[in-house]
Structure 1
């Protein structure tokens, strides 16, 4: 397959967020679905890719990182360096250089896994977007809350931001969701129970704190892109479960992979898809998220008249 072409006058911005289980090699490391994963991504012609579990991608001079970025048409890749004693499954961001300038790059160092955050600017626009990939801690609800609070700083002082993550936690507005929160009495994996629940009012409930921090309250910092598509845009498929697509001992699959944007960017959203077909399931235990934005509308937001 040839590299996808992205002319500068494209009318949409395509953003992908995907946790590719152990970078396409599976939990045991014995599989190799990297080529298939790259084919799936390349077919979508993304302009921004927010990745989780770039396992081993730093090795051999970051060979796997560059192989993926090159396969996607020469995207510019970012990835934090591995930290001794931390997670072995880092996050990364890839950006289309034909559409964006890179204005900066920050690694938000946290106890378990850094947040990868380049600052990009649409060519012809004056206001940048802080883009971030995150993978919230799988075992510590308190650390997840800290990570979510750190992400709110991307939107400080009126900045525009776009964040994709495996949140390892749940949406907080259960009444709007398509999938019910776990029935913890029926979950067989008791370690998972400890990792994914918090105490409230004397009982253990699903951890929804990260989503409350990011998108809760009367004046939320971020808009949950999937929820916006599922409600305001009447796209119910946007609220489909994302993980786990394989395990059954942790209860039914949940919408733990989410994309957030600052409210100024939300009106430009055209569509949001949760892709979990046969090929995606072969590669990973997580669905692939695809958000499509109206590029002309984004330009109006990001190049304000002075």
Structure 2
């Protein structure tokens, strides 16, 4: 699917539905997903829906790490409300972990947040996998606000996950759902909010994370929008979900990766991966951001020097 480049760092975010496990317990989809990831060869993998992966000594997590080539895994906790935690896998040859944090955002999915040092770079890099609430727009808004702590001025970060909400940019407004075409009434309730007496699509989390205000730049760059507008890659705006549902209207770009400004400058491409294997493995497409290793290492080193 991708050309291997020694100067590339590949970051993949993927919501693998119920961790590739069927109701009867079969895991054929998981094995297919691991084949897809083996082809993509991510150096950083941000995962959502690691369903019950904490069971049996986190056996499923270590099995996935082994299929990735021996990556180091981090798993956030499950909650009484959801058995689908988030996780992060990192390439040990490129990254050295320095800290690990888990950010509770209520009773939904805690944010999995390891902090690493890219070998040869001075500044630490915060990584986070998140899965915003699927049913409550107000909870999603608060979760997005919590994520902004990873984009403070003294921090460098890459965060990604399932936003369960829509991009806020006006250039994508025409692609948002036509609610007259959405048969699933609960989906309408979960993905819209009241605004000036009307029900409108929920774009607030993206506005919190990547919206400019009062002439000031955003906390993060949303890498799909950045890739399309700054790198000329319109395919970066391809929808990501749902590949399976037909009662929720057209597919939407709800899976997104964000980065702080100094990290974003090293981005070379963003791609939504979709093919027959992906369609069989999950209802979400993987999203892959590729950075120049040399440019990222230089940016992090300069950032550390400026902060000293």
Q: TM-score, normalised by structure 1?
A: 0.93
Aligned to 1:248: 246
- Residue 174 of structure 1: how far off its partner (Å): 3.5
Query: Aligned in 2, Cα 1:229/1:26: closer, same or farther, shift over 3 Å?
Result: farther
Could you list the per-position Cα deviations for residues 96-124 of structure 1 after superposition, in whole angstroms to 9, with x for gaps in the alignment?
A: 11101101000001211100000011012
Task: Please tell me whether residue 232 in structure 1 is matched to residue 230 in structure 2.
Answer: yes
In the other structure, the counterpart of 1:154 is: 150
Mapped to 2, the partners of 1:28 and 1:146 lie a distance apart of: 36
Deviations 1:59-108 (CA, angstroms, capped at 9, x unpaired): 1111111000111110000001223x221111100001110110100000
Q: Is the 8 A contact 2:9 2:292 kept in 1?
A: yes
Paired position in structure 2 for 1:24: 20
Task: Kindly indicate whether the alpha-carbon contact (under 8 Å) linking 1:17 and 1:49 is maintained by their aligned counterparts in 2.
Answer: yes
Tell me which residue corresponds to 1:223.
221
Match of 1:269 in 2: 267
Tell me how far apart the structure 1 counterparts of residues 114 and 176 of structure 2 sit (CA, whole Å).
Answer: 33
Q: Secondary structure of the equivalent of 1:287?
A: coil
**Could you say what secondary structure the match of 2:88 adopts?**
strand
The answer as to whether partners of 1:241 and 1:254 remain within 8 angstroms in 2 is: yes
- Secondary structure of the 1:195 match is helix
1:36 offset after TM fit, Å? Answer: 1.0
Gaps of 5+ in 2: none
Does residue 228 of structure 2 align to residue 205 of structure 1?
Answer: no
Residues 155, 227 of structure 1: alpha-carbon distance in 2 compared, 3 angstrom cutoff? same
Alignment partners' CA distance in 1, 2:199 and 2:66: 46
Q: Is the 8 A contact 2:262 2:300 kept in 1?
A: no
Number of the residue aligned with 2:44? 48
Q: Distance in 2 between matches of 1:287 and 1:28?
A: 23
CA distance in structure 1 between the partners assigned to 2:36 and 2:175 by the alignment: 29
Q: Which residue is 2:95 aligned to? A: 100
The SS at the match of 2:190 is helix
SS of residue in 2 equivalent to 1:265: helix
Deviation at 1:126, TM superposition (A): 1.2
In 2: Cα distance, 1:259 partner to 1:76 partner: 20
Provide the C-alpha distance between the structure 1 equivalents of 2:6 and 2:121, rounded to a whole number of angstroms. Answer: 15
SS in 1 for 2:28: coil
Aligned pair in 2 of structure 1 residues 29, 190: CA closer, same or farther (>3 Å)? farther
Partner of 2:177: 182
Structure 1 stretches of at least 4 aligned residues deviating more than 6 Å after TM superposition = none
Residue-by-residue CA offset, 1:207-243 (whole Å, 9 max, x unaligned): 0000000000241000000111111111111100000
Distance between the aligned counterparts of 1:182 and 1:28, measured in 2?
Answer: 33
Q: State whether residues 174 and 180 of structure 1, in contact with CA within 8 Å, keep that contact through their aligned partners in structure 2.
A: no
Aligned partner (choices 99, 105, 109) of residue 110 of structure 1? 105
Distance 2:158 2:101 in 1: 14
Question: Deviation per CA, 1:14-35, whole angstroms, max 9, x where unpaired?
Answer: 1000000100124775563111
Contact 1:243 1:253 in 2 (8 A): yes
Q: Residue 161 of structure 1 contacts residue 261 of structure 1 at CA under 8 Å; is this kept in 2?
A: yes
Structure 1 residue runs of 5 or longer lacking an equivalent are 1-5
* Other-structure match for 2:134: 138
1:26 touches 1:284 (CA, 8 Å); kept in 2? no
